[in-house]
């Protein structure tokens, strides 16, 4: 039976690399943030390439769910999604897919995000929404997977093997590498966000960095930290 895998990521994670990883499987097709235009329209957020996204993507989130996410495909389907895009949308479709909550240390998210969009807020970072989504699914008795990019980057082979096992598909070593450059599945926003991933052919080695945040960013980090600490305890570790 073909699997529908929804990756609920925070921004500025290695979610694009993970999408490319699943794209390297011959039995899987991937979709890049199909709910982005819906999010931009509903929230009126001003992101890079906003008008291009609105012009090239379906803006009705319910239609995206019905016609793209829940559509039948001849292969497994992998949807790279952002948790904070789940606004003004019926979440009942989550019970029909495999949900992977993809987290990252919020200090790293804030530091990276603020380089492109200044002054991020809690609603932009997505960590609290990931925490809420975890509990919402658990309360409904729906199983889910938590994946932390730190552990993925430390041990791609081991973590991906465990992830595939939890999804119910065989691990494929092709997932450990991909071709350099843009991919046909990339969204029109790729030029603003994907430069590092386009220059890569595999997962980068995790290196702990000394990050200095300004006062507002440090306050946001401290607000995010309890949600991240809870979720990372639930994440796949080898």
In the chain, at which residue ranges do the beta strands (DSSP E only) sit?
4-9, 28-32, 76-82, 98-103, 145-148
Residues with Cβ within 8 Å of 51's Cβ and at least 6 positions away in sequence, in order, are none
Give the separation between CA 10 and CA 212, rounded to whole angstroms: 20
What are the residues facing 92 on neighbouring strands? none
- CATH architecture assigned to 4-234: 3-Layer(aba) Sandwich (3.40)
State mean pLDDT over 84-88.
Answer: 94
Nearest-5° Cα angle at 34, 114 to 193: 30
- Among residues 45, 65, 58, which one has the least CA distance to residue 123? 45
Lowest-pLDDT range, 24-28, 110-114, 162-166?
Answer: 110-114
pLDDT greater than 90 at residue 116 = no
pLDDT confidence of 220, banded at 50, 70, 90? very high
pLDDT of residue 33: 98
pLDDT greater than 90 at residue 115 = no
| Helix, coil or strand: residue 182 | coil
State mean pLDDT over 115-129.
Answer: 90
State mean pLDDT over 146-169.
Answer: 98
Beta strands 145-148 and 98-103, pairing class: parallel
pLDDT of residue 208: 85
Beta strands 76-82 and 28-32, pairing class: parallel
State mean pLDDT over 17-22.
Answer: 98
- pTM metric for this prediction: 0.96
Q: How large a percentage of the chain has pLDDT more than 70?
A: 100
What dihedral do alpha carbons 211, 202, 14, 1 form, nearest 10°? -160
Domain boundaries, the chain: 4-234
């Amino acid at each position: 039976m073909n699997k529908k895998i929804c990756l609920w990521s925070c921004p500025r994670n290695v979610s694009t690399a993970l999408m490319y990883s699943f794209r390297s499987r011959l039995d899987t097709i991937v979709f890049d943030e199909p709910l982005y235009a819906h999010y931009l329209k509903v929230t009126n957020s001003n992101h890079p390439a906003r008008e291009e996204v609105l012009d090239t993507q379906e803006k009705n989130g319910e239609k995206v769910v019905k016609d793209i996410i829940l559509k039948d495909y001849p292969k497994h389907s992998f949807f790279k999604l952002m948790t904070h895009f789940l606004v003004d949308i019926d979440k009942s479709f989550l019970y029909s897919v495999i949900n992977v909550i993809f987290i990252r240390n919020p200090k790293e998210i804030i530091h990276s995000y603020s380089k492109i969009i200044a002054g991020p807020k809690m609603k932009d970072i997505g960590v609290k929404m990931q925490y809420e989504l975890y509990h919402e699914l658990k309360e409904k008795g729906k199983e889910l997977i938590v994946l932390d990019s730190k552990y993925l980057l430390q041990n791609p082979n081991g973590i991906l093997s465990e992830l595939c096992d939890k999804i119910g598909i065989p691990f494929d070593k092709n997932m450990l590498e991909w071709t350099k450059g843009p991919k046909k599945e990339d969204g029109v926003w790729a030029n603003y966000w994907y430069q590092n991933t386009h220059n890569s052919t595999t997962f980068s080695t995790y290196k702990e960095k000394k990050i200095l945040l300004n006062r507002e960013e440090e306050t946001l980090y401290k607000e995010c930290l309890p949600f991240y600490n809870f979720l990372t305890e639930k994440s796949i570790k080898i």
